[in-house]
């Protein structure tokens, strides 16, 4: 059966549900449909805490039917393709669905083919990821007896760029409590050049790294994982010029100065070289999976060269098709892919849709790239990195009301916000269409 809707939304995640809920609240549009095949809606930001054994996984899941806004048409199906010239979306089990306006927010998917060996090793033995199975992460951390604990990430965009390091800080805290910190080397290997892109936050995090004695390895491009031999293989993202500085090996570390733009808090962990690749041997590995737009999006005419939906960075309107908007993880917006970013994107998309329908023009509201990354640094401590497109530190004035004068510093009140405040706001306000 084919059907028509005034506003069609693809995706029942944070972005899709919030857009639908806010549109229906405005009461200017009554005909909103969401295409979403899943039975369960997850509050993924709490998965960091699940992986550290301090949050119940079951509490992060609710039936999709319970978050679908009242008055929305739920099309329980998979979107499979676009025909934007004719305002059609094809689906797996229904016929094409036509629309006046389309909102593309299916989130991202994991593509293990981009990282040889990782798919086979993932969520088994000592390899874990909070992105895929946070319960397994907690088992790995809980059962770790010492050795090299390697935390790493691919070079593709990922959900919440801070997530791969949050779990490391909590794991270190757990190892210390267990008394195995003296026989543990924690290594954070990243393709990046700094611990965090916002200077004020990076300063705080470097203090955390020093306190926890974590070995940072920059310019490390993860290229493969050997689950059997427990080796993560890297290529260097920058030319290595020795120039009196040691970059990788421990062979001459005593005689020469270590290049701190490559390594910080050096640890002599076991490595193996193979041509221009070099492998770090791990006793536990936590990583984020390589992330891409879903296939039906990536193979459509809606994406840019990088494979994300090509929208205006301020309005979220598609650069080619006026009646299509995209937001959330799948949109080509140069900011962090987080629920906090979506919280600020939604009202602008809703305002623009509303004005397009009523007056055939866009509003004046603009998205400045706001995103935030709650960086948990210990059990009971958190830093809140809030920033815009220019990587300026941009604290939300609402936090001042929580008596937090500087969210770039570690604070227990921020931990309370992460563990109790934000989940409450998510389920009871954001999902209900309240602008928080």
3-state secondary structure string, 351-391?
A: HHHHHHHHHCCCCCCCCCCCEEEEEEEECCEEEEEEECCCC
Q: The tokens of 71 are what?
A: 């008055």
What spatial distance separates the first Cα and last Cα of the chain, rounded to whole Å? Answer: 38
77-82, long-range: CB within 8 Å, 24+ apart, which pairs? Answer: 77/35, 77/37, 78/35, 78/37, 79/10, 79/35, 79/106, 79/296, 80/296, 81/296, 81/299, 81/300, 82/296, 82/300, 82/301, 82/302
**Phi-psi category of residue 107: left, alpha or beta, with phi > 0 → left and psi -120 to 50 → alpha:** left
**What 3-state class would DSSP assign to 162?**
coil
C-alpha distances in Å from residue 50, one per residue of 137, 212, 229, 414, 425: 8, 21, 28, 17, 19
Does the active-site annotation cover 373? Answer: yes
9 burial type by CB count under 10 A (0-12 exposed, 13-18 middle, 19+ buried): buried
Residue 64 parent element (H or E): helix 64-67
* Residue in 32, 34, 342, 373 annotated catalytic: 373
Dihedral angle over CA of 9, 13, 14, 19, nearest 10: 10
d(CA 280, CA 267): 11
d(CA 233, CA 235): 7
* Residue in 160, 201, 236, 302 annotated catalytic: 160
Active site residues per annotation: 160, 373
């Amino acid at each position: 059966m084919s059907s028509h809707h005034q506003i069609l939304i693809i995706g029942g995640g944070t972005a899709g549900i919030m857009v639908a809920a806010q549109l229906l609240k405005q009461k200017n549009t009554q005909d909103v449909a969401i295409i979403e095949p899943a039975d369960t809606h997850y509050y993924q930001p709490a998965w960091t805490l699940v992986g550290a054994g301090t949050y119940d996984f079951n509490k992060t899941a609710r039936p999709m039917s319970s978050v679908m806004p009242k008055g929305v048409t739920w099309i329980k199906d998979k979107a499979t393709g676009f025909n934007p010239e004719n305002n059609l979306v094809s689906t797996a089990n229904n016929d094409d669905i036509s629309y006046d306006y389309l909102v593309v927010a299916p989130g991202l998917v994991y593509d293990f083919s981009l990282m040889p060996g990782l798919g086979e090793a993932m969520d088994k033995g000592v390899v874990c990821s909070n992105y895929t199975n946070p319960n397994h992460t907690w088992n790995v951390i809980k059962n770790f007896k010492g050795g090299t604990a390697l935390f790493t990430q691919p070079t593709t965009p990922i959900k919440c760029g801070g997530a791969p390091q949050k779990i490391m800080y909590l794991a270190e805290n757990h190892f210390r409590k267990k008394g195995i910190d003296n026989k543990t080397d924690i290594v954070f290997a990243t393709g990046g050049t700094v611990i965090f892109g916002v200077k004020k936050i990076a300063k705080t995090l470097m203090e955390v790294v020093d306190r926890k004695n974590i070995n940072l390895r920059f310019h490390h491009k993860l290229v493969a994982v050997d689950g059997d031999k427990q080796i993560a293989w890297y290529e260097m993202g920058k030319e290595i010029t020795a120039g009196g500085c040691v970059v990788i090996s421990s062979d001459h570390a005593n005689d020469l100065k270590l290049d701190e733009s490559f390594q910080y808090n050096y640890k002599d962990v076991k490595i193996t070289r193979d041509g221009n690749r070099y492998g770090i041997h791990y006793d536990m590995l936590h990583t984020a999976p390589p992330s891409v737009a879903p296939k039906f999006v990536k193979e459509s005419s809606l994406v840019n060269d990088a494979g994300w939906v090509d929208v205006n960075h301020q309005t979220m309107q598609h650069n080619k098709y006026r009646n299509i908007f995209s937001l959330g993880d799948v949109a080509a917006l140069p900011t962090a892919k987080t629920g906090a970013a979506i919280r600020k994107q939604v009202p602008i998309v809703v305002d623009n849709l509303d004005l397009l329908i009523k007056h055939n023009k866009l509003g004046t509201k603009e998205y400045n790239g706001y995103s935030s990354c709650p960086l948990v640094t210990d059990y009971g401590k958190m830093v809140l990195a809030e920033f815009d497109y220019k990587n300026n530190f941009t604290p939300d004035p609402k936090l001042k009301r929580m008596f937090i004068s500087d969210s770039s510093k570690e604070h227990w009140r921020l931990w309370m916000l992460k563990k109790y405040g934000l989940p409450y706001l998510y389920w009871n306000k954001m999902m209900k269409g309240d602008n928080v």
